[in-house]
A and B are shown apart, each in its own frame.
Chain A
Amino acid sequence: MFNQLHFYGGVHPEEGKVAQSSPIAEPPILESYTVPCAQHIGAPAQPVVQKGDKVLKGQLLAKPNGFVSAPVHSPTSGEVVELTTCLGPMGNQIPAIIVKSDGEDKAADPMPLLDPANSAPDDLKQRVGDAGIVGMGGASFPTLVKLSPPPNKPIDTLILNGVECEPCLTADHRLMLENPDAILAGARACATILGVKKVMLGIEANKPDAVALMTERAAKFDIEVHQLKVRYPQGAEKQLIYALTGRVVPSGGLPMDVKCVVQNVGTAAAIGEAVTLGKPLYERVTTVTGTPVVKPGNWRFRVGTFYRDAIRLSGGVKDDVRKIISGGPMMGLSVCSLDIPVMKNTSGILLLSESEIVQYEPHPCIRCGRCNDNCPMGMMPGILSEQIENMRYDLAEEWHVMDCIECGCCSFGCPAHRPLVQHMKRAKAVVVAKRKAAAAAAAAKKPKA
């Protein structure tokens, strides 16, 4: 209690975790599921089924296309109706497979069971890839890639991220309370794969029940549980590593540069189930919440469930909904349709009513320095924003815009209501494009010279 670990900067928005006491519910089988083939960063998976094929629950629908990719499995048994596209949370069309369920929900034969502590690391790694596991905290980076650090980057610490610093979301919290053994088994499997001894689990102090339970269970797995200060963005990789180990991830670097690998508890649970039960990733715990929702709660949704169905299962809405957000209120994506499927990284569906949405008009920066104090990366969002407004991306690059982790603390606290993080996202996109073009130009020049 007295020694809560933390990082520099950050904010403390209203927590709004109304769904934290409602247990994870099982939704009924829906008529059909629209399973997107691009649920991860990297190349979309390649469908291996055709229209009219009969599939079973957990059967492979699409295979990975390249190293940075992940397979997709069927959420239920039934028939493949169509290979089409659907709207993703980013607003773009992504390839998808529609599976019409037969109502029997018959599972395919599970993959052979493995022992998280004693199986061969390569077998376990293979399983993580086969089960289609991706980072379930939001970034959806294929976990197999994360667990395959290059040989020149030794890893000595595995960090489990049970922070869930986003307000409103409670999925990871419930998962830690209801399925701690899967998380710990998954953590052990990851540790075996990476060959590390030290495993740390960080939980924010606003979840004392989860801290107590995990501490009790983790003892026999030799996993340290740490309580962290309630401060957003405590769950950001670089901040979490700093709070737990005191190591600073270098600018532009990855956790592996400081010998760490960070896994979300949801991902760990999925790995645990894939290893001990042989079950691929086709369902996840998602929070449906927000003041307009009649019955906010946590659900174990199958991948491919439309937001429309998720909201309907939660009893619909009672107010006028003005914003639907995929994820939490600080970093989530606002979406413009209900026909978007729940994906492997959908940690929450948040609805905001008229009174909660902010439609401010930005004022000029009054240089109060709050963004600077709030920024967990110690940047100067205020000055950067003015530079970016004037299209001075060169200056912005000089003032370290590329270090931004897009947590939104600056915009959250800005009394002038400036779109600070939005400006920085744009600058990052522009700078990345510029660097790519420069690299391409350099590559084109080289052979001549």
Chain B
Amino acid sequence: MFHVLILTVIGVLLALAIGLVAKYFGAEQDPRADQLLELLPGANCGGCGFAGCADYVKAMLEGRAKPGCCPGMTPASLSKASFILGVEAEERERKVAVVCCRGDESVAVNRAFYNGVTDCVNAVMVANGGKACTFGCLGLGTCARVCPFGAIEITEKHLAVVHPELCRGCNKCVEVCPRHIIKLVPAKAPVHVLCSSPESFKIKKGVCSAACIGCRKCAKNAKEGQITFNGFLACINYANPPEAEVADVCPVHVIAASKAQQSK
């Protein structure tokens, strides 16, 4: 019996010590933090505008952010997060990235052979890259390497292509692209213009056979204000997008149906 007594005494003493320490030195922690963190994708992509998922959770708990900021959350987990926080669930439009260039090696002209580090940022620092079009995708894969979701593929002909079904719209590729030709667009948009060069027809024709030639046929076949022009470049008005049929009238096929829509 004596050993039971000893064990009990030691146990009680230790429990007392823990209790005292917890009382005088313990830190408060919100139990909701862990639950919220589980609902986030955990990629720490920064798409919400905070430094990683944990920071975003902290911001939400402190009321500095709303649950809808994370582009990677599924609607189900978003509604759960709203429930945990006790706020109204907010509808958020899904956005995906699109590389606005279809000038791969077969159509775009190379003005010089680039022999250096396989990285677009480096290539742009050396005589602005090998591709003659200064708005063309260099295809050296910087965007694919920063994508936390593996949604960007570099084709065999050195062109970056976003797979919209994998893209969570975190904006990382948009930030890193030295040519600034990746755009974040609504996933619902039916068509995109796969060219970013507003330069004159004369310049574009010399460097790429897949460039927007600024013929305005698409604008004539769409409603007023659905397609605008920036120099010689057609631009989709994503607030009021044209129908998918516009793609058929483009003589250079630079207007392409959105892959996100095709895959549906």
* A and B directly contacting (CB within 8 A): yes
Pick from B119, B125, B129, B134: contact of A93, CB under 8 Å: B134
Pick from B111, B115, B121, B146: contact of A426, CB under 8 Å: B121
Task: Tell me which residues across on chain B come within 8 A of A334, comparing CB atoms.
Answer: 126-127
A429 interface contact, C-beta 8 A:
yes
Is the Cβ of B121 less than 8 Å from the Cβ of A429? yes
Given A422-B122, A426-B125, A336:B112 Cβ within 8 A = yes
Count A-side interface residues using an 8 Å CB cutoff.
21
Q: Which residue of A lies closest to B199 (CB)?
A: A93
Task: Tell me which residues across on chain A come within 8 A of B112, comparing CB atoms.
Answer: 336
A383 interface contact, C-beta 8 A:
no
Task: Tell me which residues across on chain A come within 8 A of B111, comparing CB atoms.
Answer: 336-337
Main secondary structure on chain A at its contact with chain B? mixed
B86 interface contact, C-beta 8 A:
no
Is the Cβ of A92 less than 8 Å from the Cβ of B128? yes
- Interface positions of A from 249 to 303, Cβ below 8 Å from B: none
Task: Tell me which residues across on chain A come within 8 A of B127, comparing CB atoms.
Answer: 89-91, 333-336
- Interface positions of B from 110 to 124, Cβ below 8 Å from A: 111-112, 115-117, 119, 121-122
Is the Cβ of B115 less than 8 Å from the Cβ of A419? no
- Interface positions of B from 141 to 156, Cβ below 8 Å from A: 145-146
A359 interface contact, C-beta 8 A:
yes
A221 to B27, CA, bound (A): 72
A430 interface contact, C-beta 8 A:
yes
A423 interface contact, C-beta 8 A:
yes
A172 to chain B, nearest CB (A): 25
Task: Tell me which residues across on chain A come within 8 A of B128, comparing CB atoms.
Answer: 90-92
Assuming A92-B128, A359-B115, what are 18 further A-B pairs, CB within 8 angstroms?
Answer: A89-B127, A90-B127, A91-B127, A91-B129, A333-B126, A336-B112, A336-B130, A391-B146, A419-B117, A419-B122, A422-B116, A422-B122, A423-B117, A426-B117, A426-B119, A426-B125, A429-B121, A433-B175
What are 13 of the A-B contact pairs (CB < 8 Å)? Answer: A89-B127, A91-B127, A333-B127, A334-B127, A336-B111, A337-B111, A359-B115, A419-B116, A422-B116, A422-B122, A425-B122, A425-B125, A429-B121
Residues of chain A touching chain B, judged by Cβ–Cβ distance below 8 Å, are 89-93, 333-337, 359, 391, 419, 422-423, 425-426, 429-430, 433, 437
Residues of chain B touching chain A, judged by Cβ–Cβ distance below 8 Å, are 111-112, 115-117, 119, 121-122, 125-130, 134, 145-146, 175
